[in-house]
Amino acid sequence: MDWKLEGSTQKVESPVLQGQEGILEETGEDGLPEGFQLLQIDAEGECQEGEILATGSTAWCSELSRLAGQIRRLYGSNKKADRPFWICLTGFTTDSPLYEECVRMNDGFSSYLLDITEEDCFSLFPLETLVYLTPDSEHALEDVDLNKVYILGGLVDESIQKKVTFQKAREYSVKTARLPIQEYMVRNQNGKNYHSEILAINQVFDILSTYLETHNWPEALKKGVSSGKGYILRNSVE
């Protein structure tokens, strides 16, 4: 799958997992701290995937369920975080199959403390504030900038539409970054000879959230990159 998350309304003084649009809201009634980051989940990427998987098919329904489950896990992690992100789902319509699946699978989804918008991330936020997280980027993410909006792409099936997020970012001349897996981890031998840097959006979120709290990439990567991906930390190699 690919990564994306989106933002909301409040001045960006902390990290954002974002969607689009550039104003982050002031906090208040929700009791969320000021100055948290914006994280945007771009559900539009998932819709593109639907052009290949026939709507209504078993495979399509399964992909929707997986993405809905990842959104639930991401939201749960954010609620527990000491420094939560402001989350925005972009390209996300309330009459879409994905929204219906989120409501079906996630108790209280309609009351989640996040923003949902039909707009895409490239029209919501100033393009210069956006950082599209994609494993295809040439640039490793070095730090989490509180003045940036980070986009995670909501693609679920990693076997189709390669480089969708990277090409999308290039189309809008938006900066891209990949998690520094190559810098801090190495391939681990396994029976299937399987190695992948493609993570679910909740795994990417766990890495960003842990890094924000610890400023330690090895610790953050260990949190989100499961052993099943075929990578281990460099200092784990004997």
pLDDT of residue 37: 44
pLDDT (0 to 100) of residue 166: 83
Q: Which SS3 state, helix, strand or coil, does residue 233 take? A: strand
**Residue 34: per-residue pLDDT:** 33
The per-residue pLDDT for 165 is: 77
State how far the Cα of 109 lies from the Cα of 69, in Å rounded to an integer. Answer: 11
Q: How many CB atoms lie within 10 A of CB 167?
A: 12
- pLDDT mean by block of 10 residues, the chain; 238 residues: 35 43 30 42 47 50 85 94 91 88 91 91 93 92 93 62 78 94 90 84 94 96 89 79
Residue keyed to tokens 């309330």: 94
Pair 26, 130: CB distance under 8 Å? no
pLDDT of residue 39: 61
pLDDT at position 98 is: 87
| b/e sequence 212-233, b meaning 16+ C-beta within 10 Å | beeeebbebbbbbbeeebbbbb
Closest C-alpha among 236, 133, 228 to residue 185 = 236
pLDDT value of residue 154: 64
Q: Measured between alpha carbons, how far is residue 96 from residues 10, 178, 185, 230, 232 in Å?
A: 27, 29, 38, 35, 38
Which pTM value belongs to this model? 0.76
